[in-house]
Amino acid sequence: MRLAGPLRIVALIVTVGLTWIVVSILLGGPGSGFPRIQQLFSSPENSATAEPRARKYKCGLPQPCPEEHLAFRMVSGAANVIGPKICLEDKMLMSSVKDNVGRGLNIALVNDVNDLLKFIRPLHEGTLVFVASYDDPATKMNEETRKLFSDLGSKNVKDLAFRDSWVFVGAKGVQNKSPFEQHVKNSKHTNKYEGWPEALEMEGCIPRRTTAS
């Protein structure tokens, strides 16, 4: 019995049938409950099931600050290459782009100790002070400078040394130490860059000063 001819015909019919079914599934033909092939290759942005992008609030914070609070975000300088950034209430106060940062302590570009003391001494009660280091914050500091920052609420300024990274938010007249402070020591064993530790990033919400009525 010769079955080769009929078997070939059956195989051809089966192949054509399977091909039609696969194409129908991919293209979403009539009566098909499967998605169209275009949906398989659609971008996440156009997909109805794509997760929405996380909303950013003032200064890029992931959540909004409560009422009567100020949003801030600050980043110390990276080595002696990338300058620091200080943002308050969605306004960039200091950055390399604004060309108003320099090496040392970035408080309105005051790096000289004498100028720094003149700058801090006359601050009014309740004035917020934002500090971001760049390259070396400590070499020019003297004991009076460290005491002034300590009075503003810093607990780490007394240990600040050559090429440490430091970010700090304090205020004139505070009674306690500030919760807004980060400090990383310059150590050849842990430095991220050659001769410098990693850059520090800090963000949060600062209560507005309340005035007595």
Domain boundaries, the chain: 56-205
- The pLDDT of residue 23: 55
pLDDT band at 154 (very low <50, low <70, confident <90, very high): very high
The Cα–Cα gap between 19 and 11 comes to 12
Among all chains, which residue has been given the structure tokens 């700090």?
168
- What's the Cα-to-Cα distance from 79 to each of 31, 85, 107, 192, rounded to whole Å? 64, 14, 18, 9
DSSP string, 101-151: --SEEESTT--SHHHHHHHHTTPPTT-EEEEEEES-SSTT--HHHHHHHHH
The average confidence (pLDDT) of the chain is 80
Tokens of 59: 């200064």
Residue type, 134: Y
- The pLDDT of residue 164: 93
Tokens of 61: 């914070």
- The pLDDT of residue 103: 86
The Cα–Cα gap between 88 and 112 comes to 25
pLDDT per position as a tens digit, 10-69 = 666 666 666 666 556 555 555 444 444 444 444 444 545 556 666 788 999 999 999 999
Q: Cβ contacts of residue 80 below 8 Å, gap of 6+?
A: 103, 134, 135, 196
